[in-house]
A and B are shown apart, each in its own frame.
Chain A
């Protein structure tokens, strides 16, 4: 059987394959720079290029020395610890605030809905450098520059829009009469919120939280402005690593980050399917 419809001319078929080729090229362009760092991070030599030994697949040309460097170099361990502390704290804060905001904004009685939504989502749109500069001057007044709370609050502000978007998306499928039903059964509004609303919007809350975490984990501009040496995060350390101590440690870190991103993506996809299943079952 022919895979093309019979009315296809040679040009249709040529176009079909040309489109395919383009798509593969774009994909390669996006992915190759990420993939290429993975073998390079196992380089036995302090170079950013493939050594002849690596190309001939000589086992001695590969090593884990740069991964070892990460766990032994105090600068890197500190950066990793900081990234996780700031990322997790900021994500938690953003998740709580963003969820409450999304629930409030989805209420039919909320006044100035559009204006408030626009304000809350603005950190996604306003250039980071402007936010960073603004926060820097604002923070100096309160002595928050160079402190953990300062960075956590700043990153939470960046994460809130993601939580609002994902939670609002799950809330649009939420049947308000479930809330009324809870009340009619004798539960207080707060109890209904915990027992009925939260479980049903949980996939949105968790994926919003993960987005907020990744946003903080990946963020470098605010860190450059607001962090002192004590608060160096992984991206900040890579940034200076690139210029100061050129060795493949940052490639090893980058590889680990790719692995982390893949894990998060898989989790998000899993959550998305789960929430679709829950909704489909209604």
Chain B
């Protein structure tokens, strides 16, 4: 074993899972997680995120591959011996026990003395700001309070790894944001490692050290939030994370990592070439709506394309403009709501401008990614 592998806390090595022995639900998941990292699994419904968590917790067996903690395989360790905390989507608090009894359960299972238990429970209730709620039953708490108790219960026995499966899915937007902050705060304070599952990309982007984007049982990209957003490795990630525009075209040539693309509807643009892009192949170029500018603009630009104005939608802090390219595809531009936001009449021609470094050309097999999702 090399030195760098020693530093790795949790390692999943080519982990595969099949429920029916026919089709793979998780098709070879590799990840190395360091102690204290906050990793989020993000992906569409049915992509295998919960399945990965269940394998980590030991509730589902691993079909092939190994899961190891500090270099030791835990494939054959029973769930109750793994010492991994878990926060369930529906909280899973024991309804017949008070909050304090819920928190005491993992401690008494581990044979902690009553006095120590009491001190520890008080400490963790304070941590989640529920000091006076120890004697209440879960049925007497609000959703956010239950969630905090569930969090405290998963942390109180000081597991080194905590799994959370859409823990905030049942909460309303405001409470969700508050709890996101709460979880981040506790994670920074206590330094445990988190594997977090969510549908909500804003949540993933704001909380994680790294995000693994899942699709169809395969990790498309595992990277820090900014890199995922700015440098998606393929069209799926570009489409899945945030909003994106896609322009179809043909790669003329690739020079110094940049692709010269002749756009389907006419015109030529230059974009960063993604991995696997080949000269004289088809491609799609992605540009974020907030990176596009409408002529005339004071912003730097080195690409330009003609488009027909379709609609202008007032959103408040910014304005969304819809344009149509001559090949029929639609382009969204997000402009800050200030004095420079231009007015258009229907059918007017506009010129959209952007920087080469803000656009990426991906290889394209004929199918447009679904930009409505």
State the A residues within 8 Å of B (CB): 175, 177-178, 180-189, 191, 195-196, 199-200, 278, 280-282
Q: Given A180-B57, A180-B59, A281-B137, does the pair A185, B95 have CB atoms closer than 8 Å?
A: no
Interface residue B334 (Cβ < 8 Å from any Cβ of A): no
Residue pair A184, B94 in contact (C-beta under 8 Å): no
Residue of A nearest to B150 (CB): A181
CB distance from B69 to the nearest CB of A (A): 15
Which residues of B sit under 8 angstroms from A183, Cβ to Cβ?
58-59, 79-80
Binds A, one of B103-111, B177-185, B200-208, B303-311: B103-111
Question: Are A196 and B94 within 8 A (Cβ)?
Answer: yes
Asked if A178 and B79 sit within 8 Å, CB to CB, the answer is: no
- Contact across chains for A186 and B106 when beta carbons are under 8 A apart: yes
B85 at interface by CB-CB < 8 Å:
yes
Task: Give the most central of A184, A191, A196: most B CB within 10 Å.
Answer: A184
Is B139's CB under 8 angstroms from A186's CB? no
Query: 1/0 per residue B55-87: CB within 8 Å of A?
Result: 001110000000000000000000111111110
Q: Is B326 an interface residue when CB atoms closer than 8 A count as contact?
A: no
Assess A185 versus B157: contact at CB under 8 Å? Given A178-B92, A191-B109, A281-B95: yes
In the bound complex, do residue A278 and residue B109 qualify as a contact, i.e. CB atoms below 8 Å apart? Answer: no
A179 — nearest CB in chain B belongs to which residue? B92
Interface residues of B (CB under 8 A from A): 57-59, 79-86, 88, 90, 92-96, 105-106, 109-110, 137-140, 153-154, 157
Q: Whose C-beta in chain B lies nearest to the C-beta of A189?
A: B80
Residues of B within 8 A of A282 (CB): 95, 138-139
Closest 8 CB pairs of A and B: A281-B139, A181-B92, A185-B106, A184-B86, A177-B92, A183-B79, A183-B80, A186-B109
Contact between B57 and A185 (Cβ–Cβ < 8 Å)? Answer: no
Residue of A nearest to B89 (CB): A177
- The answer to whether B109 touches A187, judged by C-beta atoms less than 8 angstroms apart, is yes
Please, which residues of chain B bring their CB within 8 A of the CB of A191? Answer: 109
Q: A180-B88, A186-B110 are in contact. List 4 more A-B contacts (CB 8 A).
A: A185-B85, A185-B105, A188-B80, A282-B95
B310 to chain A, nearest CB (A): 48
Question: At the interface, is chain A mostly helix, strand, loop or mixed?
Answer: helix
Residues of chain A within 8 A of B157, CB atoms compared = 185-186
- Return chain B residues, CB-CB under 8 Å to A182: 94, 105
Query: Could you jot down 6 A-B contacts, CB within 8 Å?
Result: A186-B83, A186-B110, A187-B80, A196-B94, A200-B95, A281-B95
Contact, CB under 8 Å: B79 / A184: yes
Closest to B85 in A: A184
Which A residues touch B94, using CB under 8 A? 178, 181-182, 196
Q: How far is the CA of A258 from the CA of B26 in the complex (A)?
A: 63
The residue on B at minimum CB distance from A176 is B92
Once bound together, how far apart are the Cα atoms of A183 and B110, in whole Å?
A: 12
Cβ-defined contact, A195 with B105, below 8 A: yes
Give the complex CA separation of A180 and B95 in angstroms: 14
Known A186-B157, A278-B96; judge A177-B88 contact (CB<8 A): yes
**Closest A residue to B81 using CB positions:** A186
Q: In the complex, A195 Cα to B90 Cα: how many Å?
A: 20
Q: Once the chains are docked, how many angstroms separate the CA of A187 from the CA of B110?
A: 8
Shortest distance between the CB of B171 and any CB in chain A (Å):
17
- Contacting residues, chain A, for B93 (C-beta < 8 A): 181
Cα A187 to Cα B79 with chains together (Å)? 9
A198 closest partner in B (C-beta): B96
Q: Is the CB of B80 within 8 A of A175?
A: no
Chain B residues positioned under 8 Å from A186 (CB to CB)? 80-81, 83, 106, 109-110, 157
